[in-house]
Amino acid sequence: MENLLSSAASHETLPENFVFAPDQRPPASAADVALPVIDLARPRDEVRRAVLEAGKELGFFQVVNHGVPEQAVRDIEACCEEFFRLPAADKAAFYSEDTDRPNRLFSSTTYGTGGERYWRDCLRLACRFPVDAAARVAWPDKPARLRSAVEAFVAPARAVGMELLRLLCEGVGLRPDYFEGELSGGDVVVNVNHYPPCPDPERALGLPPHCDRNLITLLLQGGVPGLQVSYRGDWIRVQPVPGAFVVNFGHQLEIATNGLLRSVEHRAAPNAAVPRTSVATFIMPTEDCLVAPAAELVGACNPPRYRAVTFREFMRVYKAVGARRESVEKAFRI
């Protein structure tokens, strides 16, 4: 519990174990590369083309007019910010370092593979789909509106993800419902990331460079920038667009499309001035789901690039080798 950054009074100096050498934490690019912002209310053909193009080129894009009610977005953002402002004693009840617990509050200050530390706390919520009473009561009961805000948000957010998957299927030549069923049938996991003001943000990281482990991710970045995406050897900053989702592909989508849609590395940078809270919604396969390159996308001149793996086994290996793209590739490439 003493590890939670958001429960400490304030941070005057950056402890040594949070400091990264410049080669481990190169600054973000000065170039102004903007992620495409795709309006999902445009005609479907146009949206399909835009999503596929952005997905192939950058592996990241933003979507607006996505159909999740504005109120639902405002409510979840407000409740999540409020959660991290609760008194330390209220948060302590939910704190756990047991990585097998589906619902918990933890801090990246306890990651410890190489002794390095990250400037981020995280509230992890597992949302069975559809949400039932048992899932709800496993979430924090403070702030009072949090449970209903999460419930009202998760279903429409998941629907946006599923619609994007259908569009991508049509774009790459898979049947539109390819990702229905087991491939997207696991818990929807909501990670609320919280980055308190950091005394030396240029030398620290909120989240290390990583690829997401799931199928597809929808991120509410909030109003404070911090997300940075790997692009042609540089780190580009993602400018916040109010109410938009930042969308990116997880490893499972890369494996299933045999590398056509790539999982791209990203990281989060803290800042000195204001706290930042982001809400990441992960669509996951079921644990037993066998993920493999789709038969439609492999052939004589396009052999499978990844071995088939159950999602459970993938997660076991991912935990052990770390989240860098290179190590995950090494473990699963043929």
Point out which residues bind Ni ion (CB under 5 A). 212
- Indicate which of Ni ion, ligand OGA, none lies near residue 304 (CB less than 5 to 8 Å, by partner kind): none
Write the DSSP symbol of residue 17.
G
Identified binder of ligand OGA from the candidate list 205, 236, 280, 289, rule CB under 6 A: 280
Q: Are 283 and 184 in contact (CB under 8 A)?
A: yes
**What is the C-alpha radius of gyration for the chain, rounded to an integer number of angstroms?**
19
265 near ligand OGA, rule: CB under 6 A: no
- Indicate which of ligand OGA, Ni ion, none lies near residue 150 (CB less than 5 to 8 Å, by partner kind): none
- Indicate which of Ni ion, ligand OGA, none lies near residue 191 (CB less than 5 to 8 Å, by partner kind): ligand OGA
Instruction: Measure the CA–CA gap between 189 and 66, rounded to whole angstroms.
Output: 19
Nearer to ligand OGA, 58 or 219 (CB): 219
Nearer to ligand OGA, 154 or 172 (CB): 154
Query: Nearest approach, Cβ of 209 to Ni ion (angstroms)?
Result: 10
212 near ligand OGA, rule: CB under 6 A: yes
Instruction: Measure the CA–CA gap between 89 and 129, rounded to whole angstroms.
Output: 31
Which residues lie across from 248 on neighbouring strands?
60, 217
Q: Which residues have a Cβ under 8 Å from the Cβ of 269 and sit 6 or more positions away?
A: 28, 201, 205, 206, 226, 228
227 near ligand OGA, rule: CB under 6 A: yes
Closest CA to 261 of 58, 48, 64: 58
Residues binding ligand OGA: what is the number (CB under 6 A)?
A: 12
Nearer to Ni ion, 49 or 325 (CB): 325
Closest CA to 186 of 152, 220, 213: 213
Closest CA to 82 of 220, 277, 257: 277
Tokens 């970045």: give the residue.
Answer: 221
Instruction: Measure the CA–CA gap between 231 and 57, rounded to whole angstroms.
Output: 9
Write the DSSP string, 201-220: GGG--SEEEE--SSSEEEEE
Is the C-alpha dihedral spanning 85, 92, 4, 154 positive or negative? Answer: negative
Within residues 165-194, the interface with ligand OGA by CB under 6 A covers 191, 193
- Indicate which of Ni ion, ligand OGA, none lies near residue 268 (CB less than 5 to 8 Å, by partner kind): ligand OGA
Query: Nearest approach, Cβ of 205 to ligand OGA (angstroms)?
Result: 11
Query: Nearest approach, Cβ of 328 to Ni ion (angstroms)?
Result: 13
Query: Nearest approach, Cβ of 323 to Ni ion (angstroms)?
Result: 8
251 near ligand OGA, rule: CB under 6 A: no
Nearer to ligand OGA, 184 or 258 (CB): 184
Which residues lie across from 190 on neighbouring strands?
125, 281
Which residues lie across from 277 on neighbouring strands?
194
- The bridge status of strand 276-283 relative to strand 188-195 is antiparallel
196 near ligand OGA, rule: CB under 6 A: no
Query: Nearest approach, Cβ of 276 to ligand OGA (angstroms)?
Result: 8
237 near ligand OGA, rule: CB under 6 A: no
226 near ligand OGA, rule: CB under 6 A: yes
266 near ligand OGA, rule: CB under 6 A: yes
Query: Contact residues for ligand OGA (CB under 6 A)?
Result: 191, 193, 207, 212, 219, 221, 226-227, 266, 268, 278, 280
